[in-house]
Chain A
Amino acid sequence: MRSGVTIFPGSNCDRDIIVALKEISGKTPIKMWHKDTEFPNLDLIVIPGGFSFGDYLRCGALAARSPIIKNIKNHISRGGAVLGICNGFQILIEAGILPGSLIRNEKLLFTCRKTILEIQDSMISPFLSGLKKGQYLNIPVAHNEGNFFASETLLNELKNEGRIAFKYVKEANTDDDYNPNGSCNDIAGILSKNGKVLGMMPHPERAIYNLHGGTDGLKFLSKTFEKLIG
């Protein structure tokens, strides 16, 4: 699999996802600096987490105007897969690639914690192909603006088209505040119309070793990898 990881000024999870992808594929993804516009054809582009351009104006708003966005759009129109994690999800929304918006967490506080994601009854997507509906993944979040907000119409559309990839769910026997940010319908990640673009707030690259507290992130990324290399 040929993969690339975009780097904007202020990206800070680029190294982490590169480590994770290398762990899975044995190959180091290429680094894609935001001002560059010449890249080889890739199977997967990952837009990592961080605070691109310091989150100034709005999270992801400035990055969404970077030269590299055109390359990403071309890649998508060629049927390429794109994974936006955390700030990457925010950038995909600001660039108009995914719908809805990500607003400040309900409690108005940054939150870094474990969450449990439930795979939804979704459309066919390389990101979910190896996972079953109802399956749980333990993957942590760390963000200030991860509260997915959308109109009733859009929420219905996402549901009917099978574009809701994961929802936050409650751990058995706990009353914990399972939804970390107050997002509509507990949505943690959504897909593009063709299923090839996934935006998600949780960080799979932070759940790749047992010592991270679990390897569900590795499982998720591995399945994606297997699907993309066919």
Chain B
Amino acid sequence: MDMSKDLVAASATPLVLAILAEGDSYGYAIIKRVAELSGGHLQWTDGMLYPVLHRLERQGLVAAKWSAAENGRRRKYYRISKEGRVQLAAQRQQWRTVDGALRGIWMQACTV
């Protein structure tokens, strides 16, 4: 399925925030989780996740921390902040509204 670019971009923030709400994570794991959640339909270009994460960090919605990994290299972990949770709740409300409206009209189309 080919998703429209705008839709992918718009859903990036709530998805990332929701995944981080499950627990701290890092870029590669977030991408894996997105693929898993969408059954492989939501394919992000891997690199593009990072500018999104950095933007969220600047907005104070997530906090980042470098932690040492097994073999001397380090990995950057992201954690959702309090503002991030507030934002997630707001986004959730908005998506529910959109979802509800679309569902309503599509159900009607089915029954007519």
A and B interact physically: no
Interface residue ranges, B against A (CB under 8 Å): none
Interface residue ranges, A against B (CB under 8 Å): none
